[in-house]
Structure 1
Amino acid sequence: MSLLKDWKLHIIVLFFVLIGEAIGVKQFNLGVGTVALFPMLYVLIMGGIVSFPKLKLMNETQMKRAAGILGISFLLFVAKLGSMLGPSLPKIFDAGVSLAVQEVGHVLGTIIIGLPIALLIGMKREAIGATFSIDREPNLAIISEKYGADSPEGRGALGVYICGTVFGAIYLAILAGFLGSLGIFHPISLAMGAGVGSGSMMAAASGALAVTFPNDAEDIALFAAAANLISTILGTYLCVFFSLPVTARLYEWLEPKIGRLRKEAAK
Protein backbone atom coordinates (compact mmCIF):
# COMPACT_ATOMS: atom_id res chain seq x y z
CA MET A 1 0.00 0.00 0.00
CA SER A 2 2.94 2.33 0.63
CA LEU A 3 3.61 2.31 -3.11
CA LEU A 4 0.16 3.78 -3.74
CA LYS A 5 0.51 6.45 -1.02
CA ASP A 6 3.58 8.08 -2.61
CA TRP A 7 1.63 10.49 -4.81
CA LYS A 8 4.72 12.53 -5.74
CA LEU A 9 6.38 9.48 -7.34
CA HIS A 10 3.26 8.63 -9.37
CA ILE A 11 2.87 12.22 -10.56
CA ILE A 12 6.50 12.28 -11.73
CA VAL A 13 6.02 9.00 -13.60
CA LEU A 14 2.81 10.23 -15.24
CA PHE A 15 4.50 13.51 -16.19
CA PHE A 16 7.41 11.65 -17.82
CA VAL A 17 5.08 9.34 -19.72
CA LEU A 18 3.09 12.28 -21.09
CA ILE A 19 6.29 14.07 -22.16
CA GLY A 20 7.66 10.94 -23.80
CA GLU A 21 4.46 10.29 -25.72
CA ALA A 22 4.22 13.95 -26.74
CA ILE A 23 7.75 13.89 -28.20
CA GLY A 24 7.07 10.60 -29.98
CA VAL A 25 9.51 8.73 -32.18
CA LYS A 26 12.41 10.71 -33.62
CA GLN A 27 14.85 9.41 -36.21
CA PHE A 28 18.18 10.94 -37.17
CA ASN A 29 20.01 10.02 -40.35
CA LEU A 30 23.76 9.66 -39.77
CA GLY A 31 24.61 8.80 -43.36
CA VAL A 32 25.61 5.18 -42.76
CA GLY A 33 22.47 4.50 -40.73
CA THR A 34 19.66 5.95 -38.68
CA VAL A 35 19.37 6.38 -34.92
CA ALA A 36 15.81 5.92 -33.66
CA LEU A 37 14.79 7.57 -30.40
CA PHE A 38 11.48 6.50 -28.86
CA PRO A 39 9.43 7.41 -25.74
CA MET A 40 10.90 4.78 -23.40
CA LEU A 41 14.38 6.17 -24.07
CA TYR A 42 13.33 9.71 -23.12
CA VAL A 43 11.70 8.47 -19.92
CA LEU A 44 14.84 6.53 -18.95
CA ILE A 45 16.98 9.64 -19.37
CA MET A 46 14.55 11.86 -17.46
CA GLY A 47 14.35 9.29 -14.68
CA GLY A 48 18.13 9.24 -14.42
CA ILE A 49 18.23 13.04 -14.18
CA VAL A 50 15.63 13.44 -11.41
CA SER A 51 17.20 10.64 -9.35
CA PHE A 52 20.61 12.35 -9.37
CA PRO A 53 21.38 12.81 -5.63
CA LYS A 54 22.62 16.42 -5.84
CA LEU A 55 19.33 17.62 -7.30
CA LYS A 56 17.43 16.30 -4.25
CA LEU A 57 14.24 15.86 -6.28
CA MET A 58 13.79 12.31 -5.01
CA ASN A 59 14.98 10.70 -1.80
CA GLU A 60 16.36 7.20 -1.37
CA THR A 61 13.05 5.83 -0.10
CA GLN A 62 11.22 7.03 -3.19
CA MET A 63 13.89 5.52 -5.46
CA LYS A 64 13.51 2.16 -3.71
CA ARG A 65 9.74 2.36 -4.15
CA ALA A 66 10.23 3.21 -7.82
CA ALA A 67 12.40 0.11 -8.17
CA GLY A 68 9.58 -1.93 -6.65
CA ILE A 69 7.07 -0.49 -9.10
CA LEU A 70 9.47 -1.24 -11.96
CA GLY A 71 9.60 -4.87 -10.88
CA ILE A 72 5.81 -5.09 -10.93
CA SER A 73 5.70 -3.41 -14.35
CA PHE A 74 8.14 -5.94 -15.78
CA LEU A 75 6.04 -8.78 -14.39
CA LEU A 76 3.11 -7.43 -16.41
CA PHE A 77 5.36 -6.99 -19.44
CA VAL A 78 6.67 -10.56 -19.17
CA ALA A 79 3.10 -11.85 -18.72
CA LYS A 80 2.11 -10.11 -21.95
CA LEU A 81 5.09 -11.64 -23.75
CA GLY A 82 4.23 -15.04 -22.31
CA SER A 83 0.72 -14.79 -23.77
CA MET A 84 2.37 -14.18 -27.15
CA LEU A 85 4.85 -17.04 -26.78
CA GLY A 86 2.25 -19.78 -26.39
CA PRO A 87 0.40 -19.37 -29.70
CA SER A 88 3.70 -18.78 -31.51
CA LEU A 89 5.60 -21.85 -30.27
CA PRO A 90 5.81 -23.38 -33.80
CA LYS A 91 7.71 -20.27 -34.98
CA ILE A 92 10.07 -20.54 -32.03
CA PHE A 93 10.70 -24.25 -32.62
CA ASP A 94 11.47 -23.52 -36.28
CA ALA A 95 14.16 -21.08 -35.15
CA GLY A 96 15.41 -23.39 -32.40
CA VAL A 97 19.00 -23.66 -33.65
CA SER A 98 19.30 -19.92 -34.21
CA LEU A 99 17.98 -19.17 -30.72
CA ALA A 100 20.49 -21.57 -29.19
CA VAL A 101 23.44 -20.24 -31.22
CA GLN A 102 22.75 -16.59 -30.32
CA GLU A 103 23.76 -17.38 -26.75
CA VAL A 104 27.29 -18.15 -27.96
CA GLY A 105 27.73 -14.53 -29.01
CA HIS A 106 26.65 -13.25 -25.62
CA VAL A 107 29.26 -15.42 -23.90
CA LEU A 108 32.21 -15.21 -26.28
CA GLY A 109 31.71 -11.53 -27.11
CA THR A 110 32.25 -10.42 -23.52
CA ILE A 111 35.31 -12.65 -23.10
CA ILE A 112 37.12 -12.27 -26.43
CA ILE A 113 36.50 -8.54 -26.80
CA GLY A 114 35.94 -7.39 -23.23
CA LEU A 115 38.80 -9.13 -21.40
CA PRO A 116 41.70 -7.72 -23.49
CA ILE A 117 40.19 -4.23 -23.31
CA ALA A 118 39.78 -4.49 -19.54
CA LEU A 119 43.42 -5.51 -19.19
CA LEU A 120 44.59 -2.72 -21.49
CA ILE A 121 42.88 -0.07 -19.37
CA GLY A 122 44.59 -1.37 -16.26
CA MET A 123 42.13 -3.73 -14.58
CA LYS A 124 43.54 -6.69 -12.70
CA ARG A 125 41.43 -9.56 -11.34
CA GLU A 126 38.39 -7.28 -11.53
CA ALA A 127 38.51 -8.03 -15.27
CA ILE A 128 37.40 -11.62 -14.63
CA GLY A 129 34.16 -10.57 -12.97
CA ALA A 130 33.61 -7.72 -15.41
CA THR A 131 33.95 -9.74 -18.62
CA PHE A 132 32.82 -13.33 -18.04
CA SER A 133 29.20 -12.29 -18.80
CA ILE A 134 27.00 -9.20 -19.08
CA ASP A 135 26.70 -9.41 -15.26
CA ARG A 136 23.03 -9.44 -14.42
CA GLU A 137 21.55 -10.85 -11.19
CA PRO A 138 22.29 -14.58 -11.76
CA ASN A 139 25.87 -13.76 -12.79
CA LEU A 140 26.43 -11.69 -9.64
CA ALA A 141 25.29 -14.68 -7.59
CA ILE A 142 27.76 -16.93 -9.42
CA ILE A 143 30.69 -14.58 -8.79
CA SER A 144 29.71 -14.06 -5.14
CA GLU A 145 29.55 -17.81 -4.57
CA LYS A 146 32.86 -18.49 -6.32
CA TYR A 147 35.03 -15.57 -5.16
CA GLY A 148 32.99 -13.59 -2.61
CA ALA A 149 31.09 -10.33 -3.08
CA ASP A 150 33.98 -8.21 -1.70
CA SER A 151 36.64 -9.85 -3.88
CA PRO A 152 38.26 -8.09 -6.87
CA GLU A 153 36.22 -10.35 -9.14
CA GLY A 154 33.05 -9.41 -7.23
CA ARG A 155 33.80 -5.70 -7.53
CA GLY A 156 34.37 -6.05 -11.27
CA ALA A 157 31.04 -7.85 -11.72
CA LEU A 158 29.19 -5.31 -9.58
CA GLY A 159 30.70 -2.40 -11.53
CA VAL A 160 29.44 -3.80 -14.83
CA TYR A 161 26.07 -4.57 -13.24
CA ILE A 162 25.68 -0.94 -12.14
CA CYS A 163 26.80 0.41 -15.53
CA GLY A 164 24.37 -1.94 -17.26
CA THR A 165 21.54 -0.85 -14.98
CA VAL A 166 22.22 2.86 -15.53
CA PHE A 167 23.30 2.93 -19.19
CA GLY A 168 22.49 -0.52 -20.63
CA ALA A 169 18.94 0.13 -21.79
CA ILE A 170 19.84 3.49 -23.34
CA TYR A 171 22.90 2.05 -25.10
CA LEU A 172 21.09 -1.00 -26.49
CA ALA A 173 18.12 1.06 -27.66
CA ILE A 174 20.37 3.36 -29.71
CA LEU A 175 22.55 0.49 -30.96
CA ALA A 176 19.60 -1.69 -31.99
CA GLY A 177 17.92 1.13 -33.89
CA PHE A 178 21.17 2.02 -35.65
CA LEU A 179 21.98 -1.59 -36.65
CA GLY A 180 18.43 -2.10 -37.87
CA SER A 181 18.64 0.97 -40.10
CA LEU A 182 21.74 -0.34 -41.86
CA GLY A 183 19.68 -2.98 -43.68
CA ILE A 184 22.38 -5.62 -43.18
CA PHE A 185 20.72 -7.76 -40.52
CA HIS A 186 17.31 -9.43 -40.54
CA PRO A 187 14.98 -7.89 -37.93
CA ILE A 188 14.42 -11.28 -36.28
CA SER A 189 18.18 -11.80 -35.93
CA LEU A 190 18.46 -8.43 -34.21
CA ALA A 191 15.49 -9.34 -32.02
CA MET A 192 17.28 -12.49 -30.89
CA GLY A 193 20.37 -10.44 -30.15
CA ALA A 194 18.24 -8.15 -27.97
CA GLY A 195 17.60 -11.01 -25.54
CA VAL A 196 20.74 -10.57 -23.45
CA GLY A 197 19.25 -11.78 -20.18
CA SER A 198 18.07 -8.38 -18.92
CA GLY A 199 14.39 -7.45 -19.06
CA SER A 200 15.00 -3.70 -19.27
CA MET A 201 17.71 -3.99 -21.93
CA MET A 202 15.60 -6.41 -23.95
CA ALA A 203 12.56 -4.12 -23.75
CA ALA A 204 14.59 -1.09 -24.82
CA ALA A 205 16.29 -2.85 -27.74
CA SER A 206 13.15 -4.58 -29.00
CA GLY A 207 11.24 -1.29 -28.69
CA ALA A 208 13.78 0.45 -30.90
CA LEU A 209 13.62 -2.41 -33.42
CA ALA A 210 9.82 -2.25 -33.46
CA VAL A 211 10.08 1.43 -34.40
CA THR A 212 12.56 0.61 -37.18
CA PHE A 213 10.57 -2.41 -38.44
CA PRO A 214 6.91 -1.63 -37.61
CA ASN A 215 5.59 -4.48 -39.79
CA ASP A 216 7.58 -7.03 -37.77
CA ALA A 217 6.88 -5.53 -34.34
CA GLU A 218 5.00 -8.57 -32.99
CA ASP A 219 7.63 -11.09 -34.14
CA ILE A 220 10.40 -8.87 -32.79
CA ALA A 221 8.82 -8.87 -29.32
CA LEU A 222 8.22 -12.61 -29.55
CA PHE A 223 11.75 -13.64 -30.50
CA ALA A 224 13.40 -11.12 -28.19
CA ALA A 225 11.41 -12.56 -25.28
CA ALA A 226 12.29 -16.14 -26.24
CA ALA A 227 15.99 -15.28 -26.60
CA ASN A 228 15.94 -13.44 -23.28
CA LEU A 229 14.44 -16.46 -21.53
CA ILE A 230 17.06 -18.77 -23.04
CA SER A 231 19.84 -16.35 -22.08
CA THR A 232 18.62 -16.27 -18.49
CA ILE A 233 18.26 -20.04 -18.09
CA LEU A 234 20.91 -21.50 -20.41
CA GLY A 235 23.27 -18.59 -19.84
CA THR A 236 23.48 -19.36 -16.12
CA TYR A 237 24.79 -22.85 -16.78
CA LEU A 238 27.15 -21.62 -19.48
CA CYS A 239 28.60 -19.08 -17.07
CA VAL A 240 29.15 -21.68 -14.34
CA PHE A 241 30.66 -24.43 -16.47
CA PHE A 242 32.25 -22.55 -19.38
CA SER A 243 32.62 -18.77 -19.44
CA LEU A 244 33.84 -18.18 -15.88
CA PRO A 245 36.51 -20.94 -15.94
CA VAL A 246 37.60 -19.90 -19.45
CA THR A 247 37.79 -16.21 -18.48
CA ALA A 248 39.84 -17.02 -15.38
CA ARG A 249 42.25 -19.18 -17.43
CA LEU A 250 42.56 -16.56 -20.18
CA TYR A 251 43.25 -13.90 -17.56
CA GLU A 252 46.19 -15.89 -16.20
CA TRP A 253 47.55 -16.21 -19.74
CA LEU A 254 46.85 -12.70 -21.03
CA GLU A 255 47.56 -10.54 -17.98
CA PRO A 256 51.37 -10.98 -18.01
CA LYS A 257 51.45 -10.16 -21.74
CA ILE A 258 48.93 -7.31 -21.97
CA GLY A 259 49.83 -5.93 -18.55
CA ARG A 260 53.48 -5.75 -19.59
CA LEU A 261 52.57 -4.00 -22.86
CA ARG A 262 50.57 -1.41 -20.94
CA LYS A 263 53.47 -0.77 -18.54
CA GLU A 264 55.89 -0.36 -21.44
CA ALA A 265 53.54 2.08 -23.20
CA ALA A 266 53.24 4.13 -20.02
CA LYS A 267 57.03 4.62 -19.74
Structure 2
Amino acid sequence: MLEAIKNVKVHLLVLALVVGAEFIGILKFDVGPGKLVLLPMLYAVFLGTFLGPKFLKVVNDKDMDNASALVSLTLMLLMARYGTLVGPKFFEILKAGPALILQEFGNIGTLLIGIPIAMFLGLKREAVGAAHSIAREPNVALIGDIYGLDSAEGRGVMGVYICGTVFGTIFFGLAASMLSILNWFHPYALAMASGVGSASMMTATVGSLSAIYPEMADKIQAFGVASNTLSGLDGVYMSMIIALPMSNKLYKILYRIKFGTPQEGK
Protein backbone atom coordinates (compact mmCIF):
# COMPACT_ATOMS: atom_id res chain seq x y z
CA MET A 1 0.00 0.00 0.00
CA LEU A 2 2.83 2.43 0.90
CA GLU A 3 4.52 1.77 -2.45
CA ALA A 4 1.23 2.45 -4.22
CA ILE A 5 0.79 5.76 -2.40
CA LYS A 6 4.33 6.81 -3.39
CA ASN A 7 3.73 6.01 -7.08
CA VAL A 8 3.60 9.58 -8.39
CA LYS A 9 3.04 8.39 -11.96
CA VAL A 10 -0.28 6.76 -11.05
CA HIS A 11 -1.52 9.84 -9.20
CA LEU A 12 -0.61 12.17 -12.04
CA LEU A 13 -2.30 9.94 -14.61
CA VAL A 14 -5.45 9.75 -12.49
CA LEU A 15 -5.46 13.53 -12.14
CA ALA A 16 -5.06 13.92 -15.91
CA LEU A 17 -7.89 11.46 -16.58
CA VAL A 18 -10.22 13.24 -14.14
CA VAL A 19 -9.44 16.68 -15.56
CA GLY A 20 -9.84 15.44 -19.13
CA ALA A 21 -13.11 13.65 -18.41
CA GLU A 22 -14.58 16.63 -16.56
CA PHE A 23 -13.46 18.95 -19.37
CA ILE A 24 -15.46 16.88 -21.88
CA GLY A 25 -18.45 17.01 -19.51
CA ILE A 26 -21.85 15.39 -19.97
CA LEU A 27 -22.80 14.70 -23.58
CA LYS A 28 -26.38 14.04 -24.70
CA PHE A 29 -27.46 12.50 -28.01
CA ASP A 30 -30.89 11.77 -29.44
CA VAL A 31 -31.14 8.07 -30.36
CA GLY A 32 -34.48 7.39 -32.01
CA PRO A 33 -37.18 8.21 -29.49
CA GLY A 34 -34.70 8.00 -26.60
CA LYS A 35 -31.82 10.09 -25.32
CA LEU A 36 -28.29 8.79 -24.73
CA VAL A 37 -26.38 10.47 -21.87
CA LEU A 38 -22.59 10.02 -21.61
CA LEU A 39 -20.98 10.94 -18.29
CA PRO A 40 -17.33 11.79 -17.40
CA MET A 41 -16.88 8.51 -15.52
CA LEU A 42 -17.36 6.65 -18.80
CA TYR A 43 -14.61 8.64 -20.54
CA ALA A 44 -12.21 8.06 -17.65
CA VAL A 45 -12.74 4.28 -17.84
CA PHE A 46 -12.22 4.17 -21.60
CA LEU A 47 -9.13 6.39 -21.51
CA GLY A 48 -7.69 4.44 -18.59
CA THR A 49 -8.19 1.18 -20.47
CA PHE A 50 -6.24 2.40 -23.49
CA LEU A 51 -3.34 3.48 -21.28
CA GLY A 52 -2.77 -0.16 -20.24
CA PRO A 53 -0.02 -2.58 -21.32
CA LYS A 54 -2.14 -4.11 -24.09
CA PHE A 55 -2.69 -0.78 -25.86
CA LEU A 56 -0.62 2.40 -25.48
CA LYS A 57 1.64 0.93 -22.75
CA VAL A 58 1.67 4.20 -20.78
CA VAL A 59 1.34 2.14 -17.60
CA ASN A 60 2.91 -1.23 -16.84
CA ASP A 61 1.82 -4.16 -14.70
CA LYS A 62 3.47 -2.69 -11.60
CA ASP A 63 1.56 0.58 -12.04
CA MET A 64 -1.68 -1.37 -12.41
CA ASP A 65 -0.95 -3.37 -9.23
CA ASN A 66 -0.30 -0.12 -7.36
CA ALA A 67 -3.52 1.39 -8.69
CA SER A 68 -5.43 -1.72 -7.65
CA ALA A 69 -4.08 -1.44 -4.11
CA LEU A 70 -5.53 2.07 -3.86
CA VAL A 71 -9.06 1.03 -4.83
CA SER A 72 -9.97 -0.03 -1.29
CA LEU A 73 -8.59 3.22 0.11
CA THR A 74 -10.59 5.40 -2.26
CA LEU A 75 -13.73 3.35 -1.63
CA MET A 76 -13.36 4.05 2.10
CA LEU A 77 -13.61 7.76 1.33
CA LEU A 78 -16.70 7.13 -0.78
CA MET A 79 -18.31 5.11 2.01
CA ALA A 80 -17.60 7.97 4.41
CA ARG A 81 -19.31 10.31 1.96
CA TYR A 82 -22.36 8.04 1.88
CA GLY A 83 -22.41 8.16 5.66
CA THR A 84 -22.66 11.96 5.69
CA LEU A 85 -25.85 11.70 3.65
CA VAL A 86 -27.77 9.80 6.30
CA GLY A 87 -28.64 12.69 8.60
CA PRO A 88 -29.64 15.39 6.09
CA LYS A 89 -31.70 12.93 4.01
CA PHE A 90 -33.37 11.06 6.89
CA PHE A 91 -36.74 12.84 6.97
CA GLU A 92 -36.82 13.19 3.20
CA ILE A 93 -36.40 9.44 2.89
CA LEU A 94 -39.21 8.82 5.40
CA LYS A 95 -41.55 11.01 3.36
CA ALA A 96 -40.76 9.04 0.22
CA GLY A 97 -42.65 6.08 1.66
CA PRO A 98 -41.93 2.36 2.07
CA ALA A 99 -41.35 1.81 -1.66
CA LEU A 100 -37.84 3.21 -1.43
CA ILE A 101 -36.99 0.76 1.34
CA LEU A 102 -38.65 -2.29 -0.19
CA GLN A 103 -36.86 -1.75 -3.51
CA GLU A 104 -33.66 -3.11 -1.97
CA PHE A 105 -35.16 -6.60 -2.03
CA GLY A 106 -34.52 -6.45 -5.78
CA ASN A 107 -31.01 -7.63 -4.89
CA ILE A 108 -32.48 -11.06 -4.32
CA GLY A 109 -33.70 -11.18 -7.92
CA THR A 110 -30.21 -10.22 -9.06
CA LEU A 111 -28.57 -13.18 -7.37
CA LEU A 112 -31.31 -15.69 -8.22
CA ILE A 113 -30.90 -14.93 -11.91
CA GLY A 114 -27.24 -13.92 -12.08
CA ILE A 115 -25.51 -16.74 -10.19
CA PRO A 116 -27.05 -19.63 -12.19
CA ILE A 117 -26.22 -17.87 -15.47
CA ALA A 118 -22.67 -17.06 -14.33
CA MET A 119 -22.03 -20.66 -13.31
CA PHE A 120 -23.55 -21.92 -16.55
CA LEU A 121 -21.00 -19.74 -18.37
CA GLY A 122 -18.16 -21.38 -16.43
CA LEU A 123 -17.53 -19.04 -13.51
CA LYS A 124 -17.00 -20.42 -10.01
CA ARG A 125 -16.48 -18.22 -6.94
CA GLU A 126 -16.36 -15.22 -9.28
CA ALA A 127 -20.12 -15.71 -9.63
CA VAL A 128 -20.70 -14.78 -5.97
CA GLY A 129 -18.84 -11.50 -6.26
CA ALA A 130 -20.33 -10.69 -9.63
CA ALA A 131 -23.98 -11.55 -9.03
CA HIS A 132 -24.69 -11.04 -5.31
CA SER A 133 -25.76 -7.47 -6.18
CA ILE A 134 -25.56 -4.90 -8.95
CA ALA A 135 -21.89 -4.53 -7.92
CA ARG A 136 -21.50 -0.82 -7.43
CA GLU A 137 -19.09 1.02 -5.11
CA PRO A 138 -20.53 -0.12 -1.74
CA ASN A 139 -20.63 -3.73 -2.94
CA VAL A 140 -17.05 -3.54 -4.20
CA ALA A 141 -16.02 -2.26 -0.77
CA LEU A 142 -17.96 -5.08 0.94
CA ILE A 143 -16.41 -7.84 -1.19
CA GLY A 144 -12.98 -6.25 -0.83
CA ASP A 145 -13.33 -6.21 2.96
CA ILE A 146 -14.58 -9.82 3.25
CA TYR A 147 -12.65 -11.61 0.51
CA GLY A 148 -10.10 -9.11 -0.83
CA LEU A 149 -10.13 -7.69 -4.34
CA ASP A 150 -7.39 -10.11 -5.42
CA SER A 151 -9.69 -13.08 -4.72
CA ALA A 152 -12.03 -14.80 -7.17
CA GLU A 153 -14.95 -12.93 -5.60
CA GLY A 154 -13.01 -9.69 -5.97
CA ARG A 155 -12.38 -10.32 -9.66
CA GLY A 156 -16.08 -11.04 -10.12
CA VAL A 157 -17.31 -7.87 -8.46
CA MET A 158 -14.73 -5.69 -10.24
CA GLY A 159 -15.62 -7.22 -13.60
CA VAL A 160 -19.29 -6.36 -13.17
CA TYR A 161 -18.38 -2.95 -11.74
CA ILE A 162 -16.40 -2.03 -14.85
CA CYS A 163 -19.06 -3.44 -17.21
CA GLY A 164 -21.72 -1.52 -15.29
CA THR A 165 -19.77 1.71 -15.61
CA VAL A 166 -19.25 1.26 -19.36
CA PHE A 167 -22.56 -0.27 -20.43
CA GLY A 168 -24.87 0.40 -17.49
CA THR A 169 -24.96 4.15 -18.01
CA ILE A 170 -25.86 3.75 -21.67
CA PHE A 171 -28.45 1.05 -20.92
CA PHE A 172 -30.15 2.99 -18.11
CA GLY A 173 -30.38 6.19 -20.15
CA LEU A 174 -31.92 4.47 -23.15
CA ALA A 175 -34.17 2.19 -21.08
CA ALA A 176 -35.64 5.16 -19.23
CA SER A 177 -36.40 6.90 -22.52
CA MET A 178 -38.01 3.84 -24.07
CA LEU A 179 -40.12 3.00 -21.01
CA SER A 180 -41.33 6.58 -20.71
CA ILE A 181 -42.59 6.44 -24.29
CA LEU A 182 -44.55 3.24 -23.55
CA ASN A 183 -46.29 4.95 -20.60
CA TRP A 184 -46.23 1.77 -18.53
CA PHE A 185 -44.75 3.50 -15.47
CA HIS A 186 -45.04 6.94 -13.93
CA PRO A 187 -41.91 9.10 -14.38
CA TYR A 188 -41.46 9.19 -10.59
CA ALA A 189 -41.47 5.38 -10.49
CA LEU A 190 -38.79 5.28 -13.19
CA ALA A 191 -36.75 7.83 -11.26
CA MET A 192 -37.00 5.73 -8.11
CA ALA A 193 -36.04 2.60 -10.04
CA SER A 194 -32.88 4.33 -11.28
CA GLY A 195 -31.49 4.59 -7.75
CA VAL A 196 -29.62 1.30 -7.61
CA GLY A 197 -26.57 2.75 -5.86
CA SER A 198 -24.81 3.98 -9.01
CA ALA A 199 -24.46 7.73 -9.42
CA SER A 200 -23.70 7.39 -13.13
CA MET A 201 -26.70 5.14 -13.89
CA MET A 202 -29.03 7.30 -11.82
CA THR A 203 -27.78 10.49 -13.46
CA ALA A 204 -28.24 9.03 -16.93
CA THR A 205 -31.82 8.01 -16.13
CA VAL A 206 -32.74 11.26 -14.42
CA GLY A 207 -31.18 13.25 -17.24
CA SER A 208 -33.19 11.39 -19.86
CA LEU A 209 -36.45 11.66 -17.89
CA SER A 210 -35.89 15.35 -17.13
CA ALA A 211 -35.42 16.04 -20.83
CA ILE A 212 -38.68 14.22 -21.64
CA TYR A 213 -40.68 15.68 -18.72
CA PRO A 214 -39.15 19.13 -18.09
CA GLU A 215 -42.17 20.19 -16.01
CA MET A 216 -41.42 17.34 -13.57
CA ALA A 217 -37.65 17.68 -13.65
CA ASP A 218 -37.22 18.86 -10.05
CA LYS A 219 -39.27 16.03 -8.54
CA ILE A 220 -37.76 13.44 -10.87
CA GLN A 221 -34.30 14.47 -9.67
CA ALA A 222 -35.42 14.43 -6.03
CA PHE A 223 -36.82 10.90 -6.28
CA GLY A 224 -33.76 9.67 -8.16
CA VAL A 225 -31.29 11.13 -5.67
CA ALA A 226 -33.28 9.95 -2.62
CA SER A 227 -33.57 6.45 -4.05
CA ASN A 228 -29.89 6.29 -4.97
CA THR A 229 -28.83 7.61 -1.58
CA LEU A 230 -30.92 5.01 0.22
CA SER A 231 -29.57 2.24 -2.00
CA GLY A 232 -26.04 3.30 -1.16
CA LEU A 233 -26.86 3.23 2.55
CA ASP A 234 -29.07 0.24 3.27
CA GLY A 235 -27.90 -1.63 0.17
CA VAL A 236 -24.69 -2.52 2.01
CA TYR A 237 -26.63 -4.10 4.88
CA MET A 238 -28.99 -5.84 2.47
CA SER A 239 -26.02 -7.38 0.69
CA MET A 240 -24.15 -8.24 3.89
CA ILE A 241 -27.06 -9.71 5.86
CA ILE A 242 -29.26 -11.25 3.15
CA ALA A 243 -27.87 -11.24 -0.39
CA LEU A 244 -24.30 -12.46 0.22
CA PRO A 245 -25.27 -15.38 2.52
CA MET A 246 -27.98 -16.37 0.04
CA SER A 247 -25.45 -16.17 -2.79
CA ASN A 248 -23.04 -18.48 -0.99
CA LYS A 249 -25.81 -20.94 -0.20
CA LEU A 250 -27.08 -20.93 -3.78
CA TYR A 251 -23.53 -21.34 -5.08
CA LYS A 252 -23.00 -24.43 -2.93
CA ILE A 253 -26.22 -25.98 -4.18
CA LEU A 254 -25.51 -25.24 -7.84
CA TYR A 255 -21.88 -26.36 -7.50
CA ARG A 256 -22.97 -29.76 -6.21
CA ILE A 257 -25.56 -30.06 -9.00
CA LYS A 258 -23.12 -29.07 -11.75
CA PHE A 259 -19.97 -30.89 -10.62
CA GLY A 260 -21.46 -33.64 -8.45
CA THR A 261 -19.09 -32.88 -5.57
CA PRO A 262 -19.14 -30.47 -2.60
CA GLN A 263 -17.80 -26.96 -3.13
CA GLU A 264 -13.99 -26.89 -3.35
CA GLY A 265 -12.04 -25.32 -0.52
CA LYS A 266 -15.10 -24.28 1.52
Q: Which TM-score applies when normalising by structure 1?
A: 0.70
* Structure 1 residue ranges without an equivalent (≥5): 29-33, 65-70, 261-267
Partner of 2:156: 156
Partner of 2:36: 37
Cα contact 2:110–2:131 (8 A) shared by 1: yes
Cα distance in 1 for partners of 2:164, 2:227 equals 18
- Specify the code of the residue in structure 1 equivalent to 2:111: I
Cα contact 2:104–2:238 (8 A) shared by 1: no
Cα distance in 1 for partners of 2:121, 2:242 equals 25
The count of corresponding residues between Structure 1 and Structure 2 is 226
Tell me: CA distance 1:8–1:244, structure 2 relative to 1, closer, same or farther (3 Å): closer
Cα distance in 1 for partners of 2:97, 2:149 equals 36
Cα contact 2:130–2:153 (8 A) shared by 1: yes
1:256 Cα deviation from its structure 2 partner? 3.1
1:93 Cα deviation from its structure 2 partner? 3.7
Cα distance in 2 for partners of 1:85, 1:252 equals 39
- Specify the code of the residue in structure 2 equivalent to 1:241: I
Q: Provide the secondary structure at the position in 1 that maps to 2:34.
A: strand
Cα distance in 2 for partners of 1:139, 1:104 equals 15
Cα distance in 1 for partners of 2:259, 2:177 equals 36
Cα contact 1:119–1:259 (8 A) shared by 2: no
Tell me: CA distance 1:37–1:249, structure 2 relative to 1, closer, same or farther (3 Å): same
Cα distance in 2 for partners of 1:8, 1:100 equals 36
1:180 Cα deviation from its structure 2 partner? 2.0
Cα contact 2:206–2:220 (8 A) shared by 1: yes
Cα distance in 2 for partners of 1:96, 1:220 equals 15
Partner of 1:265: none
Partner of 1:67: none
1:183 Cα deviation from its structure 2 partner? 1.0
1:217 Cα deviation from its structure 2 partner? 1.3
Cα distance in 2 for partners of 1:17, 1:149 equals 30
Cα distance in 1 for partners of 2:211, 2:258 equals 42
* Structure 2 residue ranges without an equivalent (≥5): 1-10, 68-74, 261-266
The alignment's C-alpha RMSD in Å is 3.7
- Specify the code of the residue in structure 1 equivalent to 2:250: L
Q: Provide the secondary structure at the position in 2 that maps to 1:36.
A: strand
Tell me: CA distance 1:213–1:128, structure 2 relative to 1, closer, same or farther (3 Å): same
Partner of 2:70: none
Partner of 1:100: 101
Cα distance in 1 for partners of 2:102, 2:170 equals 25
Q: Percent identity?
A: 39
Cα contact 1:187–1:209 (8 A) shared by 2: yes
Partner of 2:244: 244
1:216 Cα deviation from its structure 2 partner? 1.6
Cα distance in 1 for partners of 2:139, 2:242 equals 13
- Specify the code of the residue in structure 1 equivalent to 2:108: L
1:213 Cα deviation from its structure 2 partner? 2.4
1:13 Cα deviation from its structure 2 partner? 5.0
Cα distance in 1 for partners of 2:202, 2:17 equals 28
Cα distance in 2 for partners of 1:42, 1:144 equals 26
Which has a greater percent of helix? Answer: 1
1:203 Cα deviation from its structure 2 partner? 1.0
- Specify the code of the residue in structure 1 equivalent to 2:221: A
Q: Provide the secondary structure at the position in 2 that maps to 1:26.
A: strand
For the pair 1:126 / 2:129, whether they are aligned, the reply is no
Tell me: CA distance 1:126–1:210, structure 2 relative to 1, closer, same or farther (3 Å): same
Tell me: CA distance 1:185–1:36, structure 2 relative to 1, closer, same or farther (3 Å): same
Matches within 5 A, 1:33-182: 34-38=33-37, 41=38, 51=48, 52-53=50-51, 89=92, 93-105=94-106, 107-182=107-182
Tell me: CA distance 1:207–1:13, structure 2 relative to 1, closer, same or farther (3 Å): same
Q: Provide the secondary structure at the position in 1 that maps to 2:35.
A: strand
1:225 Cα deviation from its structure 2 partner? 0.6
Cα contact 1:140–1:154 (8 A) shared by 2: yes
